[in-house]
Structure 1
């Protein structure tokens, strides 16, 4: 059968070896996946047809067995009536059915073997499809990763990025100079404020000192008055 031969060729093919040798593994994988799926579909449809043929054959065998039993009973009945001629004729009919039954049995065995082989081939094809799909996903991930790396590195090494970074560096230096200038203003203002704070503290101390002197003078005057009295 052409289908069996084609399936055997696909089963014998090594997916990894095919993809490793291919100039464009993605295209080959896609085509090989189509071929495998087509073969699997044909394999399953052929198996379904064989199963139908098996059931029809089993019905024929069951019907033949009924006829064999019937002619056996007729032969026995004719012999019981001393009709050997009819018994021989019945046995002859029975033998023809038995011979036909042997041919049907051989046909059934051939169908069983073909169906077993097709089921095994279908399992193998399904396994190869699973392996190939996993290989496809691996290729796609690797392709996306390489493209992303290539794009990012080309952008990072482009002159435009260098120019933008240089401009940012220039702006940073400019901002730093402005911040330094602002801090210098704040330092001057802080020094003046400190002088005013020191001036106010000195005034308070002078006032306290004057008040203390006045209190001391009052106490001294009171003491002198008491001594004079």
Structure 2
């Protein structure tokens, strides 16, 4: 097979494949049915034309037969008047008309035979069209049922293009939902651990560490003050006799101790911040 032959074969195969995909069986059946109906109309028109020609010949034959009768009368009248020459001429015309009538009868017979054949063909074609119409409707119903079944099957198995797109959309939605859920869980965890407070604060790591050290130092200083106060009170009680202290004086003493401790803690914090 040469290059041109192979190219032509490939092109024809491609075209045939495209036509097969584009062809709708129901439309093809309807088109074939219309073509057959057009053929039937052509046959009917042919029969009508043939019948018209036959009628014209029959009318012409009738006129010739009238002329034959006329020439018979002319010949009879001429004989009665002893005009044999006129009678002969009338009979000659009669003979000519008779020959024409015979020729017309032969043509009319041929046209009648053709008409009968066309009518028979028309009846046969009409029967075939009716049979084809029944088969066409049956095939269309089967095709539509098969198409509906295929559509339902694709919907059930999700193998169609649209259902594949829907499946991919669902997968993307699931992935995005999982991402959002993970993000929300992470944000909740950060919020619970206090990471957001550090992020929102304008203090850096050094400031936070200094605050922690200042807090620890203040606590230690307060603890030492309390220990020294408790120790001094215990020594005084051991050297002297216990004295009764009124309740109002005890409250004033506690207030002075609290104010001194607070002032001491504030001074220590200021010194640490200035250092």
TM-score (norm 2): 0.45
Local SS of the residue matching 1:82: coil
Q: What does 1:13-52 align with in structure 2 at a 5 Å threshold?
A: 26=26, 29-52=29-52
Give the structure 1 partner of residue 123 of structure 2: 123
The whole-number CA distance in structure 1 between the counterparts of 2:46 and 2:137 is 31
Q: What does 1:135-150 align with in structure 2 at a 5 Å threshold?
A: 135-150=135-150
Are 1:85 and 2:78 an aligned pair? no
Give unpaired runs (5+ residues) of structure 1.
1-22, 161-229
Which protein shows a greater Rg? 2
Q: Deviations over 1:127-168 (max 9, x none)?
A: 1111111111111111111122222233334499xxxxxxxx
Relative to structure 1, the CA distance from residue 32 to residue 151 in structure 2 (aligned partners, 3 Å threshold; closer, same or farther) is closer
Give the structure 1 partner of residue 99 of structure 2: 99
CA apart distance, 1:27: 6.1
Q: Confirm or deny: 8 A CA contact 1:29 1:132 kept in the other structure.
A: no
Relative to structure 1, the CA distance from residue 32 to residue 158 in structure 2 (aligned partners, 3 Å threshold; closer, same or farther) is closer
CA apart distance, 1:109: 0.9
Give unpaired runs (5+ residues) of structure 2.
1-19, 164-275
Report how many aligned residue pairs link the two structures.
139
Local SS of the residue matching 2:101: helix
The whole-number CA distance in structure 1 between the counterparts of 2:104 and 2:89 is 23
The whole-number CA distance in structure 2 between the counterparts of 1:158 and 1:62 is 80
Relative to structure 1, the CA distance from residue 39 to residue 59 in structure 2 (aligned partners, 3 Å threshold; closer, same or farther) is same
TM-score (norm 1): 0.54
Q: What does 1:1-229 align with in structure 2 at a 5 Å threshold?
A: 26=26, 29-158=29-158
Q: Deviations over 1:63-111 (max 9, x none)?
A: 1111100101111121222322222111111000000111111111111
Q: Per chain length, whose mean CA-contact separation is higher, i.e. which structure has more relative contact order (CA < 8 Å, sep 6+)?
A: 1
The whole-number CA distance in structure 1 between the counterparts of 2:152 and 2:26 is 24
